[in-house]
Amino acid sequence: MALALSATPPSPPQSLSITNNSKNDNSINNYSLLLSSLSECKHMSQLKQIHAQILRTTLPHHHDTLFLYSRILNFASFADLDYAYRVFYQIDTPNSFMWNTLIRACAQNVGSKVHAISLYKEMLEEGNVMPDKHTFPFALKACAYLFALSEGKQAHAQILKYGCGSDVYINNSLIHFYASCGCLDLAEKLFENMVDRSIVSWNVMIDAFVQFGEFDSALKLFVQMQKLFEPDGFTLQSIISACAGLGALSIGMWAHAYILNKCEYGLVSDILINNSLVELYCKCGSLELAQQVFERMPKRDITSWNSIILGFAMYGQADVALEYFARLVKVESFWPNSITFVGVLSACNHRGMVNKGQELFDMMITGYNITPVLEHYGCLVDLLARAGHIDEALDIVSNMPMKPDAVIWRSLLDACSKKNASVELSEEVAKRILESEGGICSGVYVLLSRVYASASRWNDVGLVRKLMSDIGVTKEPGCSSIEINGVAHEFFAGDTSHPQTKQIYGVLDVIDERLKGIGYSPDYSQALMVDERSDGKQHSLRLHSERLAIALGLLSLKPGVPIRVFKNLRACNDCHQVTKLISKIFYAEIIVRDRARFHRFKDGSCSCMDYW
């Protein structure tokens, strides 16, 4: 006795009133029958049958009928949003549950976020029902997704008007909304003013800090949170990302140990958490740990593969990075994406593998149909230029479909300064950079003076330096940091602000003596340019920032513990050479992450094989 299935929208509201009143006697039985059919309903086709039956056999305005419609709407909101919409607009005066159901469904559907906002406005305009704590979070969710700041702010005003200002759930949504729209200050203010906070409130705020790159604030908040709540999966993932951003290995390792010891298998095998861990260990130069996490992952996505490939690439271990790439495409039959190719191209770049790099660049275009973007061209140009093929690199720059950016020009100039390219060519490249950056690019002057210095044109070096001070160009000061027992220590060149300055300088003296003992003489070729301070003050090579950090490491870390230093710029030739010697003299493993890559110094040599 199934009614004819109808794929057409349900009849318009007026047809509802043509219901057969003679069924009144059986109505109670009928309602409970319909209700139980709805409870057992599994597919839209069944739902449509029941819907037709409701139209035929019930009184339209009876409160039981409305209840049935709520159930229909709820089911359809998950299974067929268009149908839910049509049902909704046939109901004369939808109740707040119905409004909320549809707003929630739209807010959770990628293509319908904007409808969530317009439905919310409609709900306010109609004025029959009031928005409540089931309405606002979803309206705000849609606003956050669409960066609809003014709509969200209006919702915030309504929240206060309807007396929902102290609801935890709503406040969490507001924090997320403000952070998503770029108003971290407003999010923070809300968080601070919350009387009641759930673990979600803390997670949302910590995550907001991480998204804004304010890792330090994220970790500080985490410490506060721990006094009140045990961290959950969301907290741990944010914290691991913050640690990856800060290079705070020990806190990241703590979070990892916490997951292994205290969390259920679901979290241990969570793909997002594991991806964050791989990223953390790669960024901190602990490739063995990154590999361990990666290999133990029960499931991986392309982000997992990209992280491990980029990690080994940055470390100069091109062979391992390329092995992972081969496994990715051949064994696991994954489809690499644009980022994967940035990884393998930079792996080739850090090892000077020109042919392989060119082969991969072509493979990306013809084999995988990926259109190269500026970053891929950047890798290729850098690869060619650094390997001494400066003319070929220039060729690519001239024929690129897009305008080269300053990074590409700078890598050319950098190569010119190291590969003894003609001074004329270097000057030409410098001119192009200044054109594209409006003449205020400090790095160019620094590199140009390095070109002059390597050609022993000291007069020109002086001219460039004078020009820099005349036009007020300052360079980013070299800064190195080292983490000792969970505390980061930061140094600028010639820094004397550290509480252990006296002992640090004492270590430097010892290093000098030992270096002299083995007949080392400093390499001054980049002395002036690399690590001076923003006030223009110059410091001798021995006081370059990474040396202070390494000295503190030698002073404070137990023998055998690797010394990990993060530096914002590239190391100068002399520091690179001296770090190699320190690793030998003091039997120390020293890992330096500079602007572009890792150097692992051990037994007197560096993992980059002096190609950096």
By CB under 5 A, name the binding residues for Zn ion: 531, 544, 572, 575, 599, 606, 608
* 248/572 with CB nearer Zn ion: 572
* DSSP symbol at 166: T
CA-based radius of gyration for the chain: 32
d(CA 589, CA 602): 5
Question: From the CB of residue 390, how many other CB atoms can be counted at a distance below 10 Å?
Answer: 21
CB 38 within 8 A of CB 68: yes
| HEC secondary structure over 376-425 | HHHHHHHHHHHCCCHHHHHHHHHHCCCCCCHHHHHHHHHHHHHCCCCHHH
* Cβ atoms within 10 Å of 225's Cβ, excluding its own: 20
In whole angstroms, what is the distance from residue 10 CA to residue 8 CA?
6
- Per the CB < 8 A criterion, the answer to whether 400 and 412 are in contact is no
Residue 580, token pair as written in the block: 């190699």
The residues facing 565 across adjacent strands are: 482, 592
Helical (H) or strand (E) element with 491: strand 487-492
Amino acid identity of residue 543, one-letter, is: L
DSSP 8-state code for residue 572: P
- Closer Cβ to Zn ion, 544 or 593, answer by number: 544
Q: Which is nearer to Zn ion, 282 or 608 (CB)?
A: 608
Give me the residues paired with residue 600 across strands: 591
Least separation in angstroms between CB 575 and Zn ion: 3
| Shortest distance, position 235 Cβ to Zn ion, whole Å | 37
Angle at 315 between CA 495 and CA 214, to 5 degrees: 55
Between CA 347 and CA 349 the distance in angstroms is: 5
CB 100 within 8 A of CB 138: yes
User: Which two structure tokens, joined as six digits, stand for 78?
Assistant: 């998950």
Cα distance between residue 413 and residue 432, in whole Å: 10
Instruction: Report the residue count for the chain.
Output: 612
Shortest Å distance, C-beta 394 to Zn ion: 27
| Distance between CA atoms of residues 550 and 562, nearest Å | 10
Contacts of 575 (CB under 8 A, 6+ apart): 530, 531, 541, 544, 546, 547
The label of the residue with tokens 């593998």 reads 353
Per 3-state DSSP, the chain is made up of helix, strand and coil in percentages (nearest 5) of: 65, 5, 30
Q: How many Å from the N-terminal Cα to the C-terminal Cα in the chain? A: 79
For 3-68, the DSSP string reads PPP--SPPPPHHHHTT--GGGGGGHHHHHHHHHHHHHH--SHHHHHHHHHHHHHHS-TT-HHHHHH
CA dist 177 and 130 (Å) reads: 21
Whole-Å CA distances, 148 to 115, 179, 180, 419: 13, 12, 10, 52
By C-beta, is 252 or 316 nearer to Zn ion?
A: 316
Nearest-approach distance from CB 344 to Zn ion, in angstroms: 21
Q: Which of 481, 486, 505, 485 is nearest to 494 (CA)?
A: 505
User: CB–CB of 378/407 below 8 Å?
Assistant: yes
